[in-house]
Amino acid sequence: MSVDTADLSVDTADFSGEAEERARLIDEIRGLEELKCAAAAAQARAAAAFDVSTRKAQARAGVKQDELGRGVAGQVALARRVSPHAGARLLGLARILSTEMPHTLHALSTGVINEWRATILVKETACLSREDRARVDEVVAGDLAGLEQLGDRKLTARIKKLSYGLDPHSVVNRSSKAVADRYVSCRPAPDTMTYVTGLLPVTQGVGVFAALTREADRLRAAGDSRSRGQIMADTLVERVTGQARAEDVRVEVQLIMTDQTLLHGILPEPGGASAGSREAPASPGVSGDPAATAASDVLVPWVPPGAEPAVLAGYGIVPAQWARDLIRNAGSTGTGSDNRGFQGAGAGSEPNRQDNHNGWRSEGSNIRPDPRTRVWLRRLYTAPDTGRLTAMDSRARLVPDGLARFIAARDQICRMPWCGAPIRHYDHIKPFREGGQTSAENIQGLCEACNQAKEAPGWSSRDVPADRHTVETTTPTGHVYRSTAPPPPRPVLRR
C-alpha cells in the first residue's frame, strides 16, 4: 500500500492555516473588546464634561441651584439611544469616574475592565466617604494585573470586604437605608407572560417565598395536578388580588384589536358569504362607510383574515387567537348606564365546568371565569386614507379621561425615543400656557422622567404632519429627535 505524502503535506498545511485563522479571530475579538472599553471611557469623559458645561451655562442663565443639571441625563440618553433611566445611570457613572475614581477610569480606558465592572466599582463604594472610596479605587483598580482576573462576583466580594474594613458603620447604614428602596415592578416577558418583581427586605422576601412553598406542598400532597411552580404563581395572584382563582381577571386590561380579529369565526369572511346569508353588522373598530373601510385596509397577502395581532397596553403585541380568547371567555354581559356591555362569543349558555383543581381552561374546554368579570368595548376610529387614529378635543388644561384613554391606546408607551417606560403624564406638546390645545394632536404620553427633562430650559417640541402622529423634539444643543406613534392594528385586505 502506498501513501501520497504530497497530499498529506497539503492537508497538514490547510489544518495549520485554519488554526492560525481561528487564533487571529480570537485576537480580533479581544482587540475589539478593548476598543469598546476605551470608547466607553471616552464617552464617560465626554458626558462628565458636558454635565459641567451645561451646569455652568444654566447658572449663568439664572437657573435655581437645585435645578442645575436638569435635562442633562435626558440628552445623554438620547445621544446614546437608551432610556432616560439608563442615561441617568451612565451620567452618574461618568461623574464619579471622572472626579473620584481615576484608577477605575484608567482600567476602563486600557480595556482591563468593561463598563459593567466599572459600574460595580462605583456602585459598591457609594456608601463610603470620598477619601475611603479613593483608597478602594487605588487598592482594587490600581492593581491592573489582579483586577483583570476578577469576575463580577469576586470583584463585588473584594470591594465589600475592603469597604467594611474601612468604614463598617457606613456599610451597616447602607443596609438599613436600602429598605426605603423596596418596590414592585412589572415588565413584559415572552409568550404573553409578565415578570412581576418585588424588591423586599430579606426577611420579608424569604417569608413570602416560604409561605408560597408551604401552600404548594400542601396542595400537591392533597392531589393537585399543577406543578409546584404553577401553584406558587397562582397562590401569589390569589392572595394579592383577593380573587378566588388566579385566572379571574377583575382589572381593566386595554386590548386594541381590529374588528376582523375580534369577530373572526363569528361573521362571514369578506367576499365569502353565501347567498342568503345575513349582512355583517357594522364594525366596532372602523367607520361605517364601506369606501372608508376598504381604504383603511392593508394589503398583506400572507396574513390570513382574523390573524392580525392585537396590542395589549403596557405589554405590546399579542397573538390574535390569544386576544380573542381573553375577550370571548371573559364572563357575563357587562351592565352600566352607558350600555357598553358586550357578551363574548360562547358565553351565552352555562358551560360544563371542569373541576380539575388548576382552574385554567384546557384545550377544547369552555370554562367560564368569575361572572363578575366584565368586558367593555370602546370604538377607536381611524382615518380612511392613512389609518391614523382620530379623537376628540377639549378646552380644559387637564386631559379628560376619555382623551387620556385614547392617548394611551395610541402611544402605548412613553413617546420619547428609546424610552419604553409606561406612560405616567399626558404632556402638551405645545405648552398650554403658550396657547397649546388639549387635543389628540397636541398631547403625547410621557413617563415622569421624560416629562421633567422636557421642561428644562432650551427644550422644545412640536407636532409634525405625518401619516401617524409624529413629535419632533429639539434639545438645547440643537439636536433633533423624532418619535412616531406605533401603528394600530388594521384590517387585512385580501385579493
Contacts of residue 207, Cβ cutoff 8 Å, sequence gap at least 6: none
Whole-structure pTM over 0.75, yes or no? no
Vertex 311 angle, CA 305 and 317, to 5° = 85
- pLDDT at position 246: 74
CA-nearest of 255, 267, 282, 258 to 376 is 255
Neighbours of 358 (CB within 10 A): 17
- pLDDT at position 375: 57
How many helices (H) and strands (E) are present in the chain, helices listed first?
16, 16
Provide the terminal-to-terminal Cα distance of the chain, rounded to the nearest Å.
Answer: 70
In the chain, what are the helix, strand and coil shares in percent, each to the nearest 5?
Answer: 45, 10, 40
β-strand partners of 269: none
- pLDDT at position 318: 75
Under 8 Å between Cβ of 289 and 384: yes
- pLDDT at position 181: 87
Q: Phi, psi at residue 69, to the nearest 5°?
A: 90, 0
Tell me the residue type at 68: L
Half-sphere CA count of 32, side-chain side, radius 13 A? 6
Mean pLDDT by 10 residues, the chain (495 residues): 56 73 94 96 97 95 91 95 93 96 97 96 93 95 94 94 88 79 86 89 93 94 93 92 74 64 60 40 36 40 66 71 69 36 33 38 43 58 62 61 85 90 91 86 92 90 90 95 85 56
- pLDDT at position 178: 81
- pLDDT at position 283: 36
184 CA to centre of own chain: 15
- pLDDT at position 367: 44
